[in-house]
Amino acid sequence: MIKLIIYQIDSFTKECFKGNPAGVVINADGLSDEQMLMIASELNNSDTAFLFSPDDNNCDGIIRYFTPKIEIPACGHATIAAMYAKALEENLESCILRFKTRNGLLPFEITKVDNDYQVTITQGKFELNPPLDSITSHKIIDALGLIKSDLDERCPIQIASTGYSKVMIGIKSREKLNSLTPDFQSLIDISKQIKCNGYFVFTLDSNNKNILTYARMFAPINGINEDPVTGNANGPLGGYLLQNKIIEITGDTFEFNGRQGEAMGRLGTIGVKVTLDNGEISLIQLKGDAVKVFKTIMEV
């Protein structure tokens, strides 16, 4: 019998029941893949993070991520949740922890402020595919319930990734964004064709000077019709905006805040930082708040 310490954390918010919920198993040593999948299914969040002890002296631990259906290589909000839960459980001071992921060894920064924590995570290598062909783009637009005039003409429909790819779709209107009712089966069919799990619809239509983008993310092929606040989409969005010269910057860094979850009643805010090296995107980081919803023990 293993007694698992489990947290439920809402990421990218300081308000319970907002942002994006994730389960975190603090002490996952000894669990099989089948057990992790069953636990993720039982917790029924979009993602659950499992923390393991380090397997060598070069890291502080290993982290794996499961949806209720599959293991995935990376998850922004579940990483924020995992580091926040670990900080609470171990009463950590400000520190940088290095965890092995399926995207390599990555640093996660925990900052302690007034007996609470904020987490900054480094994502994997940024990659941007060429724009999708017109037939596939039309299928995606149609499945999302959009028409051509809804699209922001500055924004090509492309697959972007920092380790877990998303299709980027820029539109003109926040009102249109919040009224979308996608055809999820069609999105599943397209995902099988293009080998990409999610569709990130975003807009630069913001009336808040501190918020650059609003967005929604649909990933029905993963069993997640809509994800409230998505690190693996907002991070690549930063690289996408720069590489397509939709945003012009001076200097070597680009920072912005993105909001997501408004249409779901789970609004959250992600801080994104993109660092350039000789004009090339070299580093993408996410910063986020979190809040504990509950802590419990599960016996397996």
**Tens-place pLDDT, residues 167-224:** 999 999 999 999 999 999 999 999 999 999 999 999 999 999 999 999 999 999 988 8
| Cα(237)–Cα(167) distance, integer angstroms | 10
| Cα(217)–Cα(121) distance, integer angstroms | 20
Taking a C-beta distance cutoff of 8 angstroms, is the pair 211, 258 a contact?
Answer: yes
Residue 188 is given by DSSP the state H
pTM of the model: 0.94
| Cα(20)–Cα(18) distance, integer angstroms | 7
Give the closest residue to 89 by CA, choosing from 41, 15, 28. 28
The DSSP bridge pattern shows strands 3-11 and 48-52 to be unpaired
Q: Which residues contact 236 (CB under 8 A, 6 or more apart)?
A: 123, 126, 128, 160, 161, 162, 165, 166, 168, 284
For the record, the structure tokens of 9 come out as 């954390």
Q: At what angle do helices 76-90 and 231-243 cross, to 10 degrees?
A: 130
| Cα(218)–Cα(198) distance, integer angstroms | 6
Tens-digit pLDDT profile for residues 217-240: 999 998 889 999 999 999 999 999
- What pLDDT score was predicted for residue 1? 85
Residue 132 is given by DSSP the state P
Give the closest residue to 66 by CA, choosing from 37, 42, 100, 31. 37
| Cα(101)–Cα(84) distance, integer angstroms | 17
* Residue ranges for the chain with pLDDT beneath 50: none
| Cα(42)–Cα(125) distance, integer angstroms | 32
